[in-house]
Amino acid sequence: MAQQNNFSSATNRKELFIWLYKKAFPAVAKYISKKGGNFHEAKDIFQDALIVYYEKLVNGSINLNSDEQSYLMGISKHLWSKRFKENIKYAPFNIGEDVFIEQDNLTPSSDKLLYYLETTGQKCMDILRAFYYDNWPVTKIAEIFGYSGVRSATVQKYKCMEKIRETIKERSLAYEDFIE
């Protein structure tokens, strides 16, 4: 799409950027998230990549061997790698001590934790409460909740935990999001 367009008007540039965001940003955000970044860092990196791409496009110095999405992903990976190396280079040596001291005084918010537990549904909440809070053995959980055996109850408990993990992962939540 990009190479066939005239970018002299603001409308055409806006359409190009919207199209590139829709096409390439989700993959870049996923990559940055996997590498320890957050949504805001992904947006920042992607915008920098868009600027590099656009400047090369306007100058005519771009030579695409693949599609725009792959090109932007490559630029984003390079920019993220560069930023990550710079952050490590200038990080203070005693960073671990500060983190442990600060977190010792913080307590998890039961309201926030409960909210994410509730996203799994009532049955999952009951199973998790029975296992973690009431300390019931899996045999008793299987019997009470009507599972055919211990294996079925264990698998269901695992699935409930996975629902919570996925919700947290989807929302890019970190430990700090649960602190009051």
pLDDT of residue 22: 86
Paired residues of 55 in beta bridges: none
Please give the pLDDT value at position 60.
76
pLDDT at res. 177: 52
User: What's the pLDDT score for residue 90?
Assistant: 52
pLDDT score at 145? 92
Backbone angles phi, psi at 177, to 5 degrees: -70, -15
| CATH C-level class of 105-178 | mainly alpha
Tokens of 16: 């190009």
Buried b (16+ CB within 10 A) or exposed e, 73-102: bebbbebbeebeeeeeeeeeeeeeeeeeee
Looking at residue 89, what is its pLDDT? 52
Task: From first to last of the 180 residues of the chain, give the pLDDT tens digit.
Answer: 554 445 556 677 788 788 888 888 888 888 888 888 888 888 888 888 888 888 887 777 776 666 788 888 888 888 888 877 665 555 554 444 444 444 444 455 566 667 767 778 888 888 888 988 888 999 999 999 999 999 999 999 888 888 887 877 776 655 555 454
